Structure formats: C-alpha cells, structure tokens
Structure 1
Amino acid sequence: MEKAGPNFFDDEVVFASYMQRRQGLDTPNDTLEKPVLMDLIQPITDKRVLDMGCGDAAIGRELLLQGAASYIGIEGSHKMANLAHQTLVNTSGKIILQTIEDWTYPQGAFDLVISRLALHYVADLALIFTKVFDAIAPSGKFVFSVEHPVITSCDRGWIGGTLRQDWMVDNYFKTGLRVTNWLGGTVKKYHRTVEEYFHLLQKTGFIITDLREAHPQREYFQDIETYERRKRIPLFLILAARKPA
C-alpha cells in the first residue's frame, strides 16, 4: 500500500535505504540541490529560520554555525525527527514532530523559510504557501526545492536497482497524485508543472526572485562519470521568493 511522505520514511526498509544513499559519493542532494539552495538563502546572519520537512536537520546545524538567530525544523517522520534531534545536540535548534500540513504556523515569526525536497509530498500546496506567507516577516525569503516536474510526471521506463539512463516524460499537464516505487517502498507524490509552482507563488502574494534547475557544476563532483550523467536531465527545481516589505 502506498504511503504519504512522513509514513513512507518511517518504514524500516525505506529509512535504511535512504540513509545508505545519503551517505554515498556525489549524491544529487549534495552536488546539485544544496549548492543552489545555499546560494539563494544568503545572507544567514541573524535570520530566524523555519525548515519544512527538515529530515536529519543537518542544514539546521550548519545555518546556526553560520550565524542564524534561530532554527526550527518541522518533521512528520518519527525516524527523521529522532535523527534531527541528535543532529542538533548542543545547539539552539528545535525540532517539532508534526507534518507540514498540520503544524500551526506563527504569524510573522520567520525571516527565512526553506523546504528541501518535501513539498512534492503535499497535496494542497496553495494552502501551505498561504501559511508560509503569513509566517514570514515582511521582506523575508521563501526558498524551496522539489523533484523536477519532468521526473514527477511519469516513472515508466525505469528498471529498479539500476542507474537510470533514459527518462520518459508523459502526462506532463495532467497534474496531481502519482504513486511510485522508490527505496523499497511505495510512496504518494504530487506532480505539478513548473508553471503551476510559479503561479501558485504569485497568487499567494510572493515576489519571485529566482528559478533554478540545479545545473551540474564540476567543482562539486568527485566522480567525472557521475558529473557527465547529471548533465543529461534536471533532477531538481528550486524557487526563491520574498514577501513584500
């Protein structure tokens, strides 16, 4: 049976597979997504940070070391939240075990809201964008990454356990629920077009400041073959926006 994002990562097999993958060489998260996100969220000093779907909260520890005033991570997976608590030991960071959808967002409490590869698990993104808009102080930033829509559109043509060499893009404009097999489990995701992400932000009231597709940069890769393969298709979509002053 397919699971929602937080429940999916609480599965023993999925969690073990995920952790093994995240510790590998030249992971897409570290080589592609993170460098873009870190560029878009600067400067960090004195910022009150909210991280939606924080995972292990490693970025929270890093941002606090860079001078962030505070860090709160929301995480719906019990296993991920426990790991995040361990990551933030001896810091001022705080983890809240709650889903992105169910948490009560305090008004104007944050200068920066981030979300890394979590919002494609959320069904009603318009509602979440409204909650984020209200939680950000005037002139505050909202930066998030999602799986690129060319990936979420369709997962046919992928043989599990192998390096994917070809990608099939199909039903691109038929947005909504997708069920896919990944990391030894079955998970529910939600496909949206690039256009839909863009206009949802605009309709909420955000001013969009940047859009990136995590173009591979050679300096972040140790393995040249992985670098060349990552140039074939975009894996991530990253959007940056700010709340008007």
Structure 2
Amino acid sequence: MSGSTTYEILSPDHGPVAQVINPDGEAPLCLVCEHASSAIPPVLDTLGLAPEHRHSHAVWDIGAEALARDLSSRLDAPLVLATVSRLVYDLNRPPEAPDAMPCQSGEIPVPGNRNLSDAKKTARTTEVYEPFHATLSDVLDGFETPPVLVTIHSFAPVWHGTPRRTQLGLLHDADASLAEAMLNAADDTLVTRLNEPYSARDGVTHTLARHATARGLTNVMIEVRNDLLGEASDVDRVAGHLATLLNTALAPKAATA
C-alpha cells in the first residue's frame, strides 16, 4: 500500500448516485436524467466555481429534473435521476472522454477539475459513473418486455453569444426511428429539430449507446431549451406536449405489441 492514495468523493450521508423514481411504473418506458443535480460533494469545495456560476447551466441541466419527474408521473414510467453534478462526472460521457470531468464548460472555468491525477479520475469514475450506470442497467433488466429508453436534458438559450432558435431537440444514436416519429408528430407548439443543438457526432449519446443501442432498445434523447422550464406551469406545459409526442410516436408499436 506504500505510495498509494485513496480518494473518497462522496460522504457516507450522500446516498446513492442514482435515485430511482416510480420504480413500479407500468409503462414499457424508462426515463433517465443524467444531469438532474447541482450537488457537488463538500470534499471538492465547489470545484472552485465562481459564486455566480455555482447554479448555472454548466453545473446541471436547469429544469430537467422537474420535467423528468412530471413525465414519469404522466406516463407512469420509472425514472433514474443522478444526484451529483455533471461537473463532478458527466454521466453521459464514458471515462475516456475529455469532457467527462471538464475543466471548462462553455465560457465557465472549472478550476477544481484542472490537472486531475489518474487516481482522482478513477475515484470519480468508481464512485459516480459506475454505480449510476449499474443502477440504470438493473432498472432496464427489471422490465418484463424490452422498454423504450428516453433521456431528458435541457440546454442554454444562448451559447457562446449566439441565440438558439431551437426549443426542442430530438436526438438519437444508431436508431433514429423514435426521434423521427416524434418529429413527424410535432406541431408548431415548439420549434422542434432533429439532432439539434447537438447530435451523436458531439459525443452526447453515450447513455443511449451503452444501454439502448447495445440492447436493441428503441430510444430518444430529448433536449428542451431551459428558458421554457423556468416555472412550474412552464414545466407542466412542456411535459404535456412531450407526453403527447411520445404517446403518438409509440402508438403503432403499442398497437402491434
């Protein structure tokens, strides 16, 4: 043991890194929100973030947790929520990805992630990434029939000074069927685009690839512009719209099941 150092990221009272909501939901659907939390373990000392950035979109997907919980209730679907900030570990990235523990997010510096040693990276991978994805895998294993996998995210309305017109993005990994079916079902309620503001080319479909593509599950990644999720009434409106899109897009599958 000489010369080795063990780093513990999470305190004993933090609880699991993945919280399962509505585990007995009866819909053949599993929801995931990898960027639900702004929590940074005390040992990491806020990662050196400036106070004005502590609860910014760099830290978490603003409004995504509320949206995911609403959808879980409406659709009666299990939901797997992250309880740790994506700046501690971005659960939608594999350990080898440069932005799994980013030292910069957009224009926001993350000093606490600079020059991380291999031991510290391994600690975060072991304590955060691996148990989260193990929990998600267990939830998927619990379905009697293969479920549809839907991940819930939000994005900033302005990126590097450029406003984003897209309000709802429907992203996919190898299987585009659900994303395209939802796009075809969309009306003018929200400005809806396929593979915007990101796509698989940007490395943002890791969860879909690891859990859906690998299992042959129908899947989609939903991205909502976060200025549309500011109030409870806004979340309710967007959740209702998304539930309608999902139900419409999945209706043919349900009819032939």
**Structure 1 length-normalised TM:** 0.29
Bigger Rg, structure 1 or 2: 2
More strand by share: 1
Structure 2 length normalisation: TM-score? Answer: 0.28
